Amino acid sequence: MRKVFAFLLSVCICTSTWAAAQISDTETERVIGELIAPLGDAAGIPDGRLKIHIVDDNDFNAFVMGGEEVYIYTGLLKQIKNPDALQAVVAHELGHMIGGHMAQMRDRMAAEMKRTMLIQALGVGLMVAGGNPSLGAGVLGGASGVAQQSMLAFSRDEERIADNMGVDLMIRAKQNPNGFIDVLKQMHEMTGALEEKINPNRINHPMTTERLNNVREYLIKTEYEYVADKIQSLRRTNEYEMVRAKLVGYLDTPKRVRELYPYSDKSDAALYARAIANMRGGNLDGAQTGVRTLISRNPENPYFWELMGDIEYQFGHYDDSVIAYEKSLDFAGNAPQIQTALALVLVERNKPGDATRAIELCKRALLTEQTPLTYWVLSRAYGNTDPGRSDWAMAEYYEKINKNTDAKKYAKRAQKNLKKTDPEYIKASDILNTN
């Protein structure tokens, strides 16, 4: 139980289009959210509608679904070197949305499928009636190639358009459009040697050098004025560095953490990454020393107090853990993940009044974000004193992790101890009535 980290308190499996772990973390979401918000405003997306999903995957990737759902891979966050470059990546993806490329791609794919089927039918006809099987087979084999080349050309053009629209979006949002130069340079550093061996006509994206040259030319032609706010720029760079350090500390190997943040590095980001890595590795004393140094430097940073709460919890120092989490919430405000973490410690400590406080925290967290772990903690907080609501919360937990049989089992048990007028009874009925 003491190996539950607040950073990973709410891990869920996304099953809509692929199975990938999504990480829910207050600090990461807030920092990235602040960076992306101006782009959403400039794109005409209503305030609060742009949702950020952090995907636990080492790929250098990000994409937008439905115009309002931004998926950013941890591999991208750990490698992108500055917040301007990250903004450029998201601006590019929003450029696809603004250009209507997703709908156009679906239409184009449908048209190309029809075209491919017609060519394949011609190929079969030549094989059967023309007396030249090799000719027919050649046409048949080339059918997908014709469609592919058309699609690849279409995709390369759209990438250029998305880059241009992304630049325009950055300018409208009063952000630094040179972030495109930064990220494309970094991508070229990563892929340049490999790209030299690739036939550009066989990939659906343009070469990085092509995109870099296009963006440079577009910036030269575009009249824009960007003046950086030095104080704001420094603040958001520091915050972004802390997020990168946090992700490295939690997700990378100890060896990798030491490579990126050697002991000679005394920066806040390095201390943060090493403290997290020490906690993960069981070196709680080392982790605690690092966090105490961070708190002495930044006593009002809610995420340092959150990490201290994690460490004290693993020590079994429940009273100190509660104090640290409470301080974290004082500075962070409404933070569902931290509220759930504090509720978990209160349930474990189980002093008079702890269960009531844990229930209150879980309910507040659920108003903002309905995560499986929060329901699990809520079930434990209700415990034997309120078995009906405890079973209902467990039913919600199982439904959130897509274990419908268990969800229905607990929903039935819940209704046996609840009044038909209770909100939880009605919610349990909803679970029972789902397929």
SS3 295: helix
Span 23-55, pLDDT tens digits: 889 999 999 999 999 999 999 988 878 888 898
Please report, rounded to a whole number, the percentage of residues in the chain having pLDDT higher than 70. 78
State the pLDDT at residue 180: 93
* 383 vs 97, higher pLDDT: 383
SS3 67: coil
Whether 115 has a pLDDT exceeding 60, the answer reads no
- What is the β-pairing status of strands 12-14 and 69-73? unpaired
Q: Which residues pair with 64 in a beta bridge?
A: 70
Round to whole Å and give the CA distance between 123 and 332.
Answer: 65
Residue pair 43/255 in contact by the 8 Å Cβ criterion = no
> What average pLDDT does this structure show over 287-312?
97
Round to whole Å and give the CA distance between 396 and 409.
Answer: 11
Q: Which amino acid is at 387?
A: P
Round to whole Å and give the CA distance between 81 and 182.
Answer: 8
Tokens of 134: 């090799």
Q: Binning pLDDT at 50, 70 and 90, where does residue 270 land?
A: very high
- Which secondary structure element, helix H or strand E, spans residue 70, and what is its range? strand 69-73
State the pLDDT at residue 148: 40
State the pLDDT at residue 431: 96
Helical packing angle, 372-382 and 336-349, nearest 10°: 30
State the pLDDT at residue 65: 79
Does the pTM surpass 0.85? The reply is no
Helices and strands, counts by H and E, the chain:
19, 5
State the pLDDT at residue 31: 95
SS3 335: coil
* 110 vs 312, higher pLDDT: 312
Q: Which residues pair with 69 in a beta bridge?
A: 51, 65
Whether 432 has a pLDDT exceeding 80, the answer reads yes
State the pLDDT at residue 341: 95
Tokens of 37: 């918000």
